[in-house]
């Protein structure tokens, strides 16, 4: 498998796919589906083609299901930011003591996304501190 790209959407795709893997590996399919439902259609399609999703059959199934259920009549917000949807997941993981999961996802993100994410309201201070470790 190729190393993930940490720039632009490639970093977001890698990070998002890692979050999905962690959720699905923890048998939290409903949480994974809710997370996917916060993505716009374009990002979901890119995610479906991303290599990490492709080699994890259950993740691929969840993404495909999400795309099939997406109703064309519902407006798709192309400006929806997937970073916002990661905040509650990171916060819960931190509270549960799953800091290694947070770090594995953050490691995949671009520096600009990390800077942006660290400034977001609602992000647990411990998560923000972990993110800053990857920025510096």
* Tens-digit pLDDT profile for residues 2-49: 333 344 567 888 899 889 889 888 888 888 888 888 888 788 888 888
* Tens-digit pLDDT profile for residues 84-115: 899 999 999 999 999 999 999 999 999 999 99
Q: Cα(57)–Cα(89) distance, rounded to whole angstroms?
A: 22
Encoded tokens for 114 = 């990390």
* Tens-digit pLDDT profile for residues 50-96: 877 766 777 777 777 777 776 554 456 655 678 889 999 999 999 99
Mean pLDDT of all residues belonging to the chain: 81
Alpha carbon of residue 82 to chain centroid: 7
Encoded tokens for 31 = 């949480």
């Amino acid at each position: 498998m190729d190393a993930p790209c940490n720039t632009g959407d490639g970093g977001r795709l890698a990070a998002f796919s890692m979050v999905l893997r962690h959720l699905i590996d923890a048998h939290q399919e409903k949480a994974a589906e809710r997370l996917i439902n916060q993505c716009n259609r374009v990002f979901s399609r890119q995610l479906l083609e991303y290599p990490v999703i492709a080699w994890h059959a259950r993740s691929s199934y969840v993404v495909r299901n999400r795309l099939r259920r997406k109703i064309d009549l519902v407006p798709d917000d192309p400006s929806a930011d997937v970073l916002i949807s990661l905040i509650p997941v990171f916060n819960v993981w931190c509270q549960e003591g799953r800091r290694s999961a947070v770090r594995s996802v953050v490691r995949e993100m671009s520096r600009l996304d990390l800077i942006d994410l660290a400034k977001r309201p609602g992000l647990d201070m411990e998560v923000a501190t972990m993110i800053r470790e990857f920025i510096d």
